Amino acid sequence: MPDRNENLRREAARCLEAAKNSKDPNSRAELIRLAQKFLELAGHQPSVDLDAILDEYNAQQMTGRPGDAQPVAQQQQQEQPPKKEE
């Protein structure tokens, strides 16, 4: 029967795999943080390089990947002349 630490490491690996496949940046970041917590609870130095994963994630956030996010349209409000009273 697997011990608690092994289960925690397995869950961390599942989180990292889900993060790799996620298209939502918020979900991806949360899954990476969750994996890190699982590994900390297991008292285990990760066999995966979380720093490299986080660096890759941050680079994707900075450069963006096509199709991940829709461009944001901004509108500017123009000052309107006062209404004339009739």
- Mean pLDDT (whole number) for 51-73: 62
- pLDDT of res. 14: 92
Q: Is residue 86 part of a domain?
A: no
Q: Is residue 36 part of a domain?
A: yes
Q: What is the spatial distance between Cα 19 and Cα 33, in angstroms, rounded to a whole number?
A: 10
Range of the structural domain that residue 42 is part of? 4-63
Task: Write the burial class of residue 7 (CB in 10 Å: 0-12 exposed, 13-18 middle, 19+ buried).
Answer: middle
Q: Is residue 56 part of a domain?
A: yes
Q: What is the spatial distance between Cα 14 and Cα 27, in angstroms, rounded to a whole number?
A: 14
pTM: 0.53
Condensed to tens digits (0 to 9), the pLDDT of residues 6-60 reads: 888 889 889 989 998 988 989 988 998 998 898 888 886 655 566 677 777 777 7
The domain tally of the chain equals: 1
Q: What is the spatial distance between Cα 17 and Cα 67, in angstroms, rounded to a whole number?
A: 20
Report which of 80, 16, 18 is spatially closest to residue 48, judged by C-alpha positions: 16
